[in-house]
């Protein structure tokens, strides 16, 4: 029975998987994202950057798995960043940075890139590994000054890529998305399904092996 391991502390990603019928084993990677970014070619595309970060997280988790889990599991790593004004934006470092981001992106459209990595383990060895990325256009509303103050005060914007959510408090200020909404939350179900299928796994099999409690 193949265990699904989510290499992420993100409650949003775990929620997406649980709503889709899979209860994952969560193992936080602890990857130094800045170090991964520093090692990349400066000309890397947003897709390459987010896919590399996702792969680094999945790879890091492999070494932390119990041998019983690594005997038959699939590790899923993800990373999301917002592309706007010609640059990739991760989690705002401060409330002031989150405010500045919203003042710039309000009323515009940005591209949310989410990298995915799937690593299949059989008998404590890697049997399959693949990474990919997808993007979704996000149309931002313009919150009022009072709304933005209140939103920043919640602390949510500094905890998420790009300083916004669509499945939390920030959802009030998203006019719409063009593409896969689940990837904006942090894990795209369509792309993940394709990667799992390439690894020889079916969703029906994973439902049976990772039932909700």
Domains and CATH numbers, the chain: 3-209 (3.90.950.10)
Nearest residue to 114 via CA among 52, 50, 181: 50
Asked whether the whole model's pTM tops 0.85, one would answer yes
Four-residue CA torsion sign, 161, 165, 166, 171: negative
pLDDT in tens, 21-53: 999 999 999 899 999 999 999 999 999 999 999
Buried b / exposed e across 104-136, counting CB within 10 Å, b at 16+?
A: ebeeeebbbbbbbbbbbbeeeeeebbbbbbbbb
- Which residue is listed with tokens 């710039």? 104
| β-pair partners for 87 | 84
pLDDT in tens, 130-168: 999 999 999 999 999 999 999 999 999 999 999 999 999
pLDDT in tens, 181-191: 999 999 999 99
Q: Which residues are catalytically annotated?
A: 79
């Amino acid at each position: 029975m193949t265990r699904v391991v989510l290499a992420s502390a993100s409650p949003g990603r775990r929620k997406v998987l649980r709503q889709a019928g899979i209860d994952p084993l969560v193992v936080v990677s602890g990857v130094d994202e800045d170090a991964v970014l520093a090692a990349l070619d400066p000309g890397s595309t947003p897709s390459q950057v987010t896919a590399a970060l996702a792969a680094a997280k999945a790879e890091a988790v492999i070494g932390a798995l119990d041998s019983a889990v690594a005997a038959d599991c699939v590790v899923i790593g993800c990373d999301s960043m917002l592309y706007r004004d010609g640059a990739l934006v991760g989690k705002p470092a401060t409330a002031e940075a989150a405010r500045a981001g919203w003042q710039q992106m309000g009323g515009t459209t940005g591209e949310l890139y989410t990298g995915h990595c799937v690593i299949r383990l059989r008998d404590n060895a890697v049997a399959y590994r693949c990474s990919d990325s997808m993007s979704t256009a996000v149309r931002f509303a313009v919150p009022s000054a009072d709304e933005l103050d209140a939103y920043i005060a919640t602390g949510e914007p500094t905890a998420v890529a790009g300083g916004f959510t669509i499945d939390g408090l920030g959802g009030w200020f998203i006019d719409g998305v063009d593409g896969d909404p689940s990837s904006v939350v942090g894990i795209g179900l369509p792309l993940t399904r394709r990667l799992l299928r390439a690894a020889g796994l079916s969703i029906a099999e994973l439902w049976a092996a990772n039932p909700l409690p």
